[in-house]
A and B are shown apart, each in its own frame.
Chain A
Amino acid sequence: VLNSIYYLSHENILDLDLSAEAVSAPYEHIPGSGDPKRSQFLLVQYEKPELARQALNRFHDAYLPEYKKKIPADTAADNPRLFKLEDGWLAYKLIGKYIAIVFECPDLESARTILQKNESNLLGKGEDHET
């Protein structure tokens, strides 16, 4: 289903199964970027934090194989990881049992901001931030 919204891979590189839930949304006309291109935000909720961490590991291995992996067990207080790719900036963050990823950002700052805002919203809605 995700691939019909935003194609990532012919493999299930985010370990999505029936226990996972996800939302995806495009960001258009990002203020200050001067770039009309849209970015794509993806938030996936797994059953347990450990499953989210494993899925993020798999995603990193498949999608960012040339980058050294650094995904700690708990990233509650960690900064997102940011990568300059062919189609713009990609950022991801593990937030408890959630993975937040933003694709095709015009710059580093907008990638960081999109993740931060969504994380704030998520935590503000009472996410049981498991550690």
Chain B
Amino acid sequence: MKHKMPVLTRRDFIRGTIGVTLGAPVFGLLWPKGEARAEARSLVTVVRDKNAMDSAKNIDIAVLEKMLAETLTRVTGQKNTKDAWLSLVKPNDMIGLMPTDHLNPTHDEVVEVVKNSLVDAGIPEDRIRDAQGPRNAKKCDALIAIPGLKAHWLTGIGTVLKNYILYSGSPSSYHKSNSFKLGEIWNLPFVKGKTKLVLVDSLYPLCDKGPQPDPRYQWPYNGFIAGTDPVAVETVCLKVITEKRKAIRGELWPLSPPPICVEAADKLYGLGTSRMDQIKINHYSWEHELLL
């Protein structure tokens, strides 16, 4: 039986040879961009507050604002929120906010707090828009990815990398075994280089895949997981989901389909690092069930 695509196996992930197996010419991409910055360490900031949500899942906006401010200054190393935003975006940028609207949607409160924070930093309100949708990134100079933390029945994890799937114009081409290609969307000409911050809404994650959110697999994590390296952020998100699943079952409970997009985004598409030993996790505040 002839196969059009080379066979990608578990061994390619272990060896880090996904790109070699698939072949860079298949996608017309340079391989391996990931190797060039293999020595760099990516910073991922985890900020949690047990008071972010009450038992009825009502969000405390004031706590959320504090968490965002903490996140921004920690991610950028700047002294205050305004300087932090201005180190990421320019005041005249058209800024696209990229929340997720499916399965475990980004909380509206999170989007609102981000928007208000940008305005407070001096970004005109009319320069901030919702960038979710097939062509919306084309009109933006900068993107702030704000996905909800979740596993996904079509891609294993459906948080950071999958957040841009509508930009592909062909979402179903990136499902199941083809989900390893999600990273290529981030390299589309109208997307590449525009993402200035990835801020994952981890207030109430979903650790099993759906297609409908099952409340048995949602829990209050009350956090933001953030950074400028999308793959590193996704890797940390995956760790949280994996550890939660393990805690629920008492043994390893692998995601299905496997989240092959994460390592492929690193090794094949050079978007960042998927190696935990190259990720520095800075965690602040609430320690309970950190899962990292």
- List residues of chain A with CB under 8 Å of any chain B CB: 1, 3-11, 13, 26, 58, 62-63, 85-87
Closest chain A residue to B15, Cβ basis: A86
7 contacts between A and B (CB under 8 A): A1-B256, A9-B9, A10-B177, A11-B8, A13-B9, A58-B1, A87-B14
CA distance A57 to B117 in the complex (A): 59
B199 at interface (Cβ–Cβ under 8 A)? no
CA distance A64 to B103 in the complex (A): 38
The residues of A that contact B8 with a CB separation of less than 8 Å are 9-11
Say whether A86 contacts B11, CB under 8 Å. Answer: yes
The residues of B that contact A86 with a CB separation of less than 8 Å are 11, 14-15
CA distance A115 to B214 in the complex (A): 39
B10 at interface (Cβ–Cβ under 8 A)? yes
CB of B277 to closest CB in A, whole Å:
16
Say whether A7 contacts B180, CB under 8 Å. Answer: no
CB of B101 to closest CB in A, whole Å:
26
Could you give, for residues 13-56 of chain B, a 1 whenever the CB lies within 8 Å of some chain A CB and a 0 otherwise?
11100000000000000000000000000000000000000000
The residues of B that contact A3 with a CB separation of less than 8 Å are 256-258
Q: Given A10-B260, A86-B14: A4 and B255 within 8 A (CB)? A: yes
Closest chain B residue to A9, Cβ basis: B9
Q: Given A10-B177, A11-B3, A86-B15: A4 and B256 within 8 A (CB)? A: yes
CA distance A85 to B15 in the complex (A): 10
**A6, A13, A62: the one within 8 Å of B254 (CB):** A6
Could you give, for residues 178-221 of chain B, a 1 whenever the CB lies within 8 Å of some chain A CB and a 0 otherwise?
10100000000000000000000000000000000000000000
CA distance A4 to B9 in the complex (A): 14
Count of chain B residues near A, Cβ 8 A = 22
Q: Given A86-B14, A86-B15, A87-B14: A8 and B256 within 8 A (CB)? A: no
Say whether A7 contacts B11, CB under 8 Å. Answer: no
CA distance A6 to B13 in the complex (A): 13
CB of A116 to closest CB in B, whole Å:
24
Say whether A10 contacts B10, CB under 8 Å. Answer: no
CA distance A11 to B15 in the complex (A): 18
The residues of A that contact B177 with a CB separation of less than 8 Å are 10-11
Say whether A63 contacts B11, CB under 8 Å. Answer: yes
**A5, A13, A85: the one within 8 Å of B7 (CB):** A13
Closest chain B residue to A5, Cβ basis: B254
CB of B98 to closest CB in A, whole Å:
27
Say whether B180 contacts A8, CB under 8 Å. Answer: no
Say whether B7 contacts A62, CB under 8 Å. Answer: yes
CA distance A115 to B239 in the complex (A): 32
The residues of A that contact B14 with a CB separation of less than 8 Å are 85-87
The residues of B that contact A58 with a CB separation of less than 8 Å are 1
Closest chain A residue to B14, Cβ basis: A86
**B7, B257, B258: the one within 8 Å of A11 (CB):** B7
3 A-B pairs with the lowest CB-CB distances in the bound complex, closest first: A4-B256, A10-B177, A7-B258
The residues of B that contact A9 with a CB separation of less than 8 Å are 7-10
CA distance A10 to B5 in the complex (A): 11
Q: Given A9-B8, A13-B9: A4 and B254 within 8 A (CB)? A: yes
The residues of B that contact A62 with a CB separation of less than 8 Å are 7, 9
The residues of A that contact B258 with a CB separation of less than 8 Å are 3-4, 7
CB of A51 to closest CB in B, whole Å:
13
Closest chain B residue to A7, Cβ basis: B258
The residues of A that contact B178 with a CB separation of less than 8 Å are 10
Given contacts A8-B9, A63-B9, A87-B14, 8 further A-B contacts (CB under 8 A): A1-B256, A3-B256, A3-B258, A4-B254, A4-B256, A7-B258, A13-B9, A86-B14
CA distance A4 to B252 in the complex (A): 11
